[in-house]
Amino acid sequence: MSSTGYVRTPTIAGDRIVFACEDDLWSVDAAGGAARRLTTTEGECTLPRLSPDGTRLAFVGRDEGTPELYVMDAEGGVPRRLTFLGSDALNCCGWSRDARFIYFTSDAGSPFVKETLAFRVDAAGGEPVELGIGHAMTLDVAANGATLLGRNAIDPARWKRYRGGTAGHLWVDAAGDGAYRRICRNIDGNHVWPLWLGERVLFLSDHEGIGNLYSVTAEGDDLRRHTNEREHYARFPAGDGTRVAYACGGELVLLDPRDGSVRRVPVTMPSNAPETARRFVDASELLETWQPSHDGTALALVTRGRAYTMPLWEEAVAEHPAASGNEPVPAARRRLATWLHDDKRIAYVDDASGFERIAITPVDASASAVYVTADDAGILHALVASPAGDMLAFATNRHELWLLEPGNAPRLLDRSVGERIEDLAFSPDGRWLAYTWSPKAHTTIIRLAECATGRIVDATSALREDRSPAWDPDGKYLYFLSTRDFNPVYDALQFELSFPEAWRPYLLTLREMFANPFVPKPAPLHKPEDDDEDDNDDKKNAKPEVVVESDGLPQRMLAFPVDEGAYDRIAAGKERALFSRFPVRGIRPDDRDRDGSEGELQAYDFVEQRSATLASEIDDFILGPDARTLVYASHGKLRAIDAGGELPEEPEDEKPPQEVGRRTGWLDLARISVLVEPRIEWHQMLREAWRLQRENFWDPQMSGIDWNAVLPRYEALLPKIRTRNELSDVIWEMHGELGTSHAYEHGGDKPVPPQYRRGFLGADVAWDDALGGYRVARILRGDPWNRDADSPLAEPGVDV
C-alpha cells in the first residue's frame, strides 16, 4: 500500500498546510514530510481553512449527517460545531483577516441546493449572519472589506471545458462598499475560487483547455498564468495572501507567485487505512439476480458481483470465481449467472480482462472456467441458456442479439433500431428464441427467431409497448405484457385523459388449431391429475416440439380476463400464467422513497378459469425452467414456492412466517458471506465506469478525447486512494474529461455517519436582549392541509 495518500482541498497559513485525505484532516509542514492526522471522525471532513495566524482550523464536517461548520485548534483537539443549519450544501470559504469571523456559503433558507448564499459566523460561536449579497459559491474578504465572489461553480474538474450558463463567474467589490462588478467577461472559461493575492485576484480557470491558476488585477486586466498542469486539473486553491496551495491528481502542490515557483510537496500519510481492510457482508445487501435450476433444487445467484450456486435449503453454497490467467485487472465482476440445461454447469458474464466475456464453469469445480466469447462484445445485459442443449443467447447495449453454439463463434441474430433488445426466452424445445425488439423509440414488439435458420417472425404488431415474452411449457401459447388496450381515465384536476394502468397480460396461440384457453371446457368433478398416476416419468418430462405458424400470428392474440394495471413480469407455469402487479405511485419524494416491496404475485389458472394472489409485498420473481419452482424477492429476502400449488380462495390476511426453511419457503441468504476487498473492487469499478462511458456516450468520437489514454491516467491514482469517497472523486474527474453534462457518479458502499437530522419550525427566530430569549420574527406559511409543507407553529391551538 502506498504511504502517499490522495490529497484534496488543502489550506495554508505560513509554513503549515492542512489538507483532506482518507476523509480526515492532516497537517504537514510546507516543506513536506510525514503528515499528522488531526481528525478521526465518523463523517467526512473536507474544505479546511486555517485562520490567518495558523492557530485555528475551520472545516466542513458530517459527523451528524448534514454538512456543518466546525472549528478546532490547528494542532488538533476536539472540534466545536458552529452551525446547526441542517442544509444540504455548505462550503467553508475562509476567515476574516482579524480571525474573528468565518465565511461560508450554504443553501440554508434557499429552495434550491445550488442557490447558495453567503454567511459569516463568529468563530467563538453565535448565530450565522446572511450577508445579503445574493448567490455565491465562494468568497474571500480582504482586511479593508474588499470582497471577491465566485458564483455558479466550484470544481470545473468534474465538468471540464464547460462554457454554459452556469459556468463560474468572478465578481469584485474592490472598495468594500457593496458595489460589485463582474470581471474576466472577455475570457471564455469556467472561473472559480477567486482569492486575494496582494492586490491581485487569483483564480482557477480552464479557458486554455485545462484547469490552471491565473491572476488579474482587481479591474480584471493583466492576465497572468501561474501554473502549467497538463494531466489533471488544479483544484480547490487556498492562499494566505502570499502562497497558494492546491490539489492536482491527488498530489499537494504549492505555488509561490513571488518567484513563480510551483512545486509538488512530498508528503506521506502513515495510516492503516481501515476502510481498505477486507470484510464480509450479507448476500442480501446487494442481491442482483437469481435463477432456479432445472430440477428446482438450487439457485444460481449473483450478489455484489460474485456468482454462487446455492441449494435451496440443504447442503453447502459454492462460489464460482473467474478463470485464472494473466489478467490486467485483479478482480472481476460476475453478472447474469444462469444454469445450463444439465444443471452441472453455469454460465455468467465477467470482466476479468477489462471487458465483458461469457464464462462457463462446472458447478462441482472439477475444472476451471472457460471463456466462450472474446473481448469487446459491448456490455451484456441479458444472457439465457437453452433448456435443450448448450446454446446460449445474449443481448448487448449495442442493440445486438447473438446466438452462441458450442465450439462456434457467436452468430449475430438480430439488431434493434430504437431501443435495446430485452427479455430473451428460449422455447421449451430450444428451437425458438423470443425477445423484445424495438422498431423505433418508445415502441417495442415481440419477435421470434428460429435458432437453426435465423428466420425471424414478428409475433406482434408495432402499436406501443410489448414485452416479457414467456413460452407455455406445452408449446401452445406465448404469453406477454402489452399496452394496447386503451382505457383512459379522466384526470381529477385537469380536463384531460391519461393511462395510469395501461398494461395487461396477453397470449398468442402459436398454431391455428389451438383453441382459446379462456373458454371453459367440460371437466369431471375429480381432478384430472388423479388419472395420470401411471404415466411414466419420460412422458412427463418430454419436451414438446414447438411449432410456430407465422401466418396470421399477430391476429391470434387474446387478452387475459384480468384488469389492466401496472404489470411488470409474466411467466408461464403448468396450465397457468403468473405475473407481478404494482400499485401506481406518485412522483413526490415521499412516494418515490418508499420500500419497493409493494407488488403482488398473481396467477391465472386455465383449469379453474380464475386468478388469485399468491403473495404480496414482492419486488420481483423468477420462475424456474421446471415451470413449478418460483422464487420471489420481498424486503431484501427470497422465498421459494410451488407455482403449481392450489390457488387460494382469498388473499391471505397474514404474512407468511418469517423463519427460514422448507416449511415456510424462505431462503437463508446468510449462508453466503460475501468477501469484500475494497481495493480490488475499486479497481474493477473504475474500469467499469470507464467502459460504461465508452459504450454509452452519445458521441462515438468521445468528444474528441483519446478515451483509451484516459483510463491508465486515472488508474495511476488508485494506489493513493484509501476511501470510497476518494474513489468517487477519481471517477467524477475521469467522467469530467468528456466535457459533457449528465456524467455523474452517485451511491456506493460508503460509511454512513449517524444521521441526527434536525427538525425545522418553519420560522425565523432572533435573539432579543431585552427579552432575554428568542423572538419569533416570522412564521412561514405553506399549505395547512399538508403538515410537511407548513410550519408546526401555525397549527391551531399553538398560539405563537
Rounded to 10 deg, the angle between the 724-736 and 678-696 helix axes is 20
Q: Residue 42 in contact with residue 289, Cβ under 8 Å?
A: no
Q: Is position 723 within any domain? A: no
**Residue-level pLDDT at 498:** 87
Q: How many CA within 13 A on the CB side of residue 389?
A: 16
Q: What CA–CA distance (Å, rounded) separates 286 from 281?
A: 9
Residue after which a domain boundary falls, among 258, 274, 290: 274
| Three-state DSSP class for residue 695 | helix
**Residue-level pLDDT at 794:** 87
Q: Is position 729 within any domain? A: no
SS percent in the chain: helix, strand, coil, step 5: 10, 40, 50
Q: How many helices (H) and strands (E) does the chain have?
A: 5, 59
Q: Model confidence over 488-540: pLDDT tens digits? A: 888 888 889 888 888 999 999 999 999 999 988 887 877 655 455 555 555 55
**Maximum alpha-carbon separation in the chain:** 101
The tally of domains found in the chain comes to 2
**Residue-level pLDDT at 324:** 47
In this structure, the number of other CB atoms found within 10 A of the CB of residue 119 comes to 25
Q: Is position 185 within any domain? A: yes
Cell of 765: 427566530
Q: Is position 530 within any domain? A: no
Across the beta sheet with 318-319, the strand order is 287-292, 298-303, 306-311, 318-319
Q: What CA–CA distance (Å, rounded) separates 12 from 3?
A: 22
| Three-state DSSP class for residue 1 | coil
Q: Which among 736, 739, 714, 740 has a CA at the least distance from the CA of 727? A: 714
At residue 133's C-alpha, the angle toward residues 129 and 135, to 5°, is 100
Q: Which stretches of the chain drop beneath a pLDDT of 50?
A: 322-329, 530
Give the residues across from 205 on adjacent strands: 212
pTM of the model: 0.91
Q: Residue 183 in contact with residue 172, Cβ under 8 Å?
A: yes
Tell me, what CATH number does 242's domain have? Answer: 2.120.10.60
**Residue-level pLDDT at 185:** 93
Q: Is position 267 within any domain? A: yes
**Residue-level pLDDT at 591:** 57
**Residue-level pLDDT at 173:** 95
Q: Residue 300 in contact with residue 307, Cβ under 8 Å?
A: yes
Q: What CA–CA distance (Å, rounded) separates 620 from 610?
A: 22
Structural domain containing residue 20: 8-274
Cell of 495: 380536463
Structural Rg of the chain based on CA atoms: 32
Burial of 623 (0-12, 13-18, 19+ CB in 10 A): buried
Residue 327's Cα: distance from chain center in Å? 27
Q: Is position 307 within any domain? A: no
Residue after which a domain boundary falls, among 242, 274, 306: 274
Give the residues across from 94 on adjacent strands: 103
Q: How many CA within 13 A on the CB side of residue 216?
A: 21
Residue 714, H or E segment: helix 707-715
| Three-state DSSP class for residue 483 | strand
Rounded to 10 deg, the angle between the 724-736 and 707-715 helix axes is 160
Q: What CA–CA distance (Å, rounded) separates 160 from 230?
A: 13
Q: Residue 312 in contact with residue 299, Cβ under 8 Å?
A: yes
Residue after which a domain boundary falls, among 225, 256, 274: 274
Q: Which residues touch 261 (CB under 8 Å, ≥6 apart)?
A: 255
Give Cα separations from 54 to 29, 81, 245, 573 (angstroms).
12, 19, 14, 73
**Residue-level pLDDT at 327:** 46
Q: Which among 735, 784, 769, 790 has a CA at the least distance from the CA of 159? A: 735
In this structure, the number of other CB atoms found within 10 A of the CB of residue 22 comes to 25
Q: Is position 404 within any domain? A: no
Q: Which residues touch 437 (CB under 8 Å, ≥6 apart)?
A: 414, 416, 421, 444, 445, 446, 447
φ, ψ dihedrals at 709, nearest 5°: -80, -20
Give Cα separations from 752 to 41, 284, 723 (angstroms).
12, 18, 12
Residue matched to cell numbers 424477492? 633
Rounded to 10 deg, the angle between the 678-696 and 707-715 helix axes is 170
Q: Is position 645 within any domain? A: no
Q: Which residue type sits at 248? A: C
Residue 503 DSSP code? B
- Determine the length of the chain: 800
